[in-house]
A and B are shown apart, each in its own frame.
Chain A
Amino acid sequence: MIRFEQVVKIYAGGQTAVDDLTFEAPTGQITVLVGPSGCGKTTSLRMINRMIEPTSGHISIDDEDVQSVNAARLRRGIGYVIQNAGLFPNKRVVDNVATVPILLGAPRSQARTRAREVLELVGLPGDFADRWPSQLSGGQQQRVGVARALAADPPVMLMDEPFSAVDPVVREQLQDEFLRLQRELGKTIVFVTHDIDEALKLGDQIAVMRVGGKLAQLADPAYLLAHPIDDFVAGFVGRDRGYRALTFAQTPALPLAAEPTVPLGTTPQEARAATRDGWLLVADHGRPVGWVEPEHITAAIEPAMLHRGGTVARATGPLRAALDAALSSPSRRGVITDDDGILLGTVRAHQVLEAIEATDRPEVDEADIAPAGPTSRADR
């Protein structure tokens, strides 16, 4: 657990970058610091590994004040990932990743073996290890940056906009892999971003900061969407809050209707016989692959004929996916599968909406509606 206690940072020029920051980043979870440019996210992060010294206040990791540890030794025990990866151009990828183990005294060959393992973990197997950083794409460099921070298996990771320099498609991919990795590793992570969608996607807990370095609100994503504490947070969290909040709501047991299916290769006559209305679901070994309109086909069903506009939702997934499956389905019947992708049945949009209405929104915290909330009102 990382604890900030009344931390203040005033730069030499008199600029207050962080103002009276108090919060905890729980062990094994991702805490995201998010806020507009210049609100003091990077400054806050870098005070944890003493790249910046606070003007006043205390920061502790597992109840040990970071000020009581030699700065270099402290940093070797904390993974650190920055925006442009900051790889050493004079070292091959494997030696970049082996840096901290070597600093900690591991023999070179052992450190390299470990480095190759970690590279594999972040999706860079085999020959990537022997390349120079300049021979990698931006996304690959960023993965090496993450691998380098993980190499000595530190319990704490600090990440400053690690995915913001890559294009949106790669970013999404890196985020997904990052979440998968975190499920495996369970690090205590403080993650800085200015992108609220990234914060909502990755954070177990989100600290929204406002310019001037004050904490505006600290909450989990669902709560933040449901109960932004003031206009600033509401504006920052953005539009479509109600819809986006469905991402964090588990799908309850939906009233699924059995859906007849036919396999690929079905003839038009068979298809027309199987259909109940204009649309027929095609499944391959139990897995839904798309819809056809039996009235409009003249040959045996093949993949090219399928309507693929409909999304498929897992029964255990978020409500947002279930609603989207219903809304996007050409037959208006949303396809629901189990975790292995096997068809369970279909559901209509109004049924999903009924389920949504029946679910509880996150209960509002009393403190957040009191006249002077702990993190908010005074400075408005």
Chain B
Amino acid sequence: MIAQVWRWLVDGAHWQGGTGIAQRLLEHLEYSGMSVLIAAIIALPIGAFIGHAGRAKWIIAVANAFRAIPSLGLLFVVAMWFVSRLQGDAAYLVPTIIVLVILAMPPLLAGAYSGVSEVDPAARDAAYGMGMTHRQVLTRVELPCALPLIFSGLRSAALQVIATATIAASISVGGLGRYLIDGLANSDYTEMAGGAVLVAALALVVDGVLAALQRLVVPGGLRTARSARRRRRASAVTQASPTG
């Protein structure tokens, strides 16, 4: 079975042409990337604002409730609504993106919100006390300090979107989901498994790229602060264990 999947994956013929793996990967990345980008443009400022102002926290709760909606069901509802209103490819593409954006928003919102609201109150107080304006406090202190949590929101949004983008294929938009749908239709389990492996691999690669970006962007002081805390916690545990 594994050997079969492997052979399917490395078969050069499967990678070429308009329905080849390369094309499907590209499509998959396109929908996912676009969705995460749109979601980030909407969610990060809102989350940061809520965290900064400490108001309208219900938005975070409502967004979290959206996570409970089944993506596939939502996709069909949105697609049915659009199919009579849009022409051509857009009729399928737009619903797909909308559903993925809705899916990506909660973790991004939560990351930006908790990142900003969990900034050390003493640091925030000092920032105002030294004469920073609200905007300066947000851009010079709160957002840089929030970066680790913003990144973890971004990474979990990206993972979810990449995994869920497979459903786009069910309304005949491309992407790696095609292998799952077609494989199921033709009872070609090798193709299905190959598709699943590709989705997982893509998710891992994207997560790795984001992790590298995070290392590049997050100020070193925040990294050392957390690793110092982790070290302390670890040493507290090891010290406690012999007696406990």
- A-to-B contact residues, CB < 8 Å: 49, 51, 72-77, 80, 82-92, 99-100, 103, 132-135, 145, 148-149
Contact of B144 among A74, A87, A90 (CB under 8 A): A90
- Determine whether B141 belongs to the interface, using a CB cutoff of 8 Å to chain A: yes
Contact A134 B225, beta carbon cutoff 8 Å: yes
Per the bound structure, the CA–CA distance linking A133 and B131 in Å amounts to: 20
Contact A100 B131, beta carbon cutoff 8 Å: yes
- Determine whether B1 belongs to the interface, using a CB cutoff of 8 Å to chain A: no
Contact stretch, chosen from B2-10, B20-28, B216-224: B216-224
Pairs A-B, 9 closest by C-beta atoms: A86-B126, A132-B221, A76-B131, A86-B122, A75-B131, A90-B144, A80-B129, A134-B225, A90-B219
Given contacts A89-B145, A90-B141, A134-B225, contact A75 B126 (CB under 8 A): no
Nearest residue, chain B, Cβ from A149: B130
Of the candidates A77, A82, A134, the one having the most CB atoms from chain B within 10 angstroms of its own CB is: A134
Contact A80 B225, beta carbon cutoff 8 Å: no
Contact B221 A51, beta carbon cutoff 8 Å: no
Contacts of B219 in A (CB 8 A): 89-91
| B141, chain A: closest CB distance, angstroms | 5
Contacts of A88 in B (CB 8 A): 123, 126-127, 140-141, 145
Contacts of A90 in B (CB 8 A): 141, 144-145, 147, 219, 221-222
Contact B120 A86, beta carbon cutoff 8 Å: yes
By secondary structure, the B interface counts as helix
Nearest residue, chain B, Cβ from A103: B131
- Determine whether B132 belongs to the interface, using a CB cutoff of 8 Å to chain A: yes
Per the bound structure, the CA–CA distance linking A308 and B144 in Å amounts to: 54
| B51, chain A: closest CB distance, angstroms | 15
Per the bound structure, the CA–CA distance linking A292 and B141 in Å amounts to: 61
Contacts of A83 in B (CB 8 A): 122
Contacts of B131 in A (CB 8 A): 72-77, 100, 103
Per the bound structure, the CA–CA distance linking A133 and B123 in Å amounts to: 11
- Determine whether B89 belongs to the interface, using a CB cutoff of 8 Å to chain A: no
24 contacts between A and B (CB under 8 A): A75-B128, A82-B126, A84-B122, A85-B126, A86-B122, A86-B124, A87-B126, A89-B219, A89-B221, A89-B222, A90-B144, A91-B221, A92-B221, A100-B130, A100-B131, A103-B131, A132-B224, A133-B221, A134-B221, A134-B224, A134-B225, A145-B126, A148-B130, A149-B130
| A156, chain B: closest CB distance, angstroms | 13
Contacts of A51 in B (CB 8 A): 125, 128-129
Per the bound structure, the CA–CA distance linking A86 and B123 in Å amounts to: 4
| B222, chain A: closest CB distance, angstroms | 6
- Determine whether B136 belongs to the interface, using a CB cutoff of 8 Å to chain A: yes
Given contacts A89-B225, A90-B141, A90-B219, contact A82 B129 (CB under 8 A): yes
Contacts of B221 in A (CB 8 A): 89-92, 132-134
Contacts of B235 in A (CB 8 A): none
Per the bound structure, the CA–CA distance linking A90 and B120 in Å amounts to: 11
Contact A87 B225, beta carbon cutoff 8 Å: no
How many A-B residue pairs lie within 8 Å, measured between CB atoms? Answer: 84
- B-to-A contact residues, CB < 8 Å: 120, 122-133, 136, 140-141, 144-145, 147, 219-222, 224-225, 228
Contacts of B225 in A (CB 8 A): 89, 132-134
Per the bound structure, the CA–CA distance linking A132 and B221 in Å amounts to: 5
Contacts of B122 in A (CB 8 A): 82-86
Contacts of A77 in B (CB 8 A): 131
| A240, chain B: closest CB distance, angstroms | 35
Contacts of B140 in A (CB 8 A): 88
| B113, chain A: closest CB distance, angstroms | 18
Q: A85-B122, A88-B141 are in contact. List 12 more A-B contacts (CB 8 A).
A: A72-B132, A75-B128, A80-B130, A86-B129, A87-B126, A89-B123, A90-B147, A90-B221, A91-B221, A103-B132, A132-B220, A134-B221
Per the bound structure, the CA–CA distance linking A277 and B50 in Å amounts to: 80
Per the bound structure, the CA–CA distance linking A74 and B122 in Å amounts to: 20
Contacts of A49 in B (CB 8 A): 129
Contact B145 A99, beta carbon cutoff 8 Å: no
Of the candidates B123, B124, B127, B219, the one having the most CB atoms from chain A within 10 angstroms of its own CB is: B123
| B205, chain A: closest CB distance, angstroms | 29
| A371, chain B: closest CB distance, angstroms | 42
Per the bound structure, the CA–CA distance linking A71 and B193 in Å amounts to: 63
| B217, chain A: closest CB distance, angstroms | 11
Per the bound structure, the CA–CA distance linking A84 and B128 in Å amounts to: 15
| B108, chain A: closest CB distance, angstroms | 20
Contact A72 B129, beta carbon cutoff 8 Å: no
Contacts of B144 in A (CB 8 A): 90-91
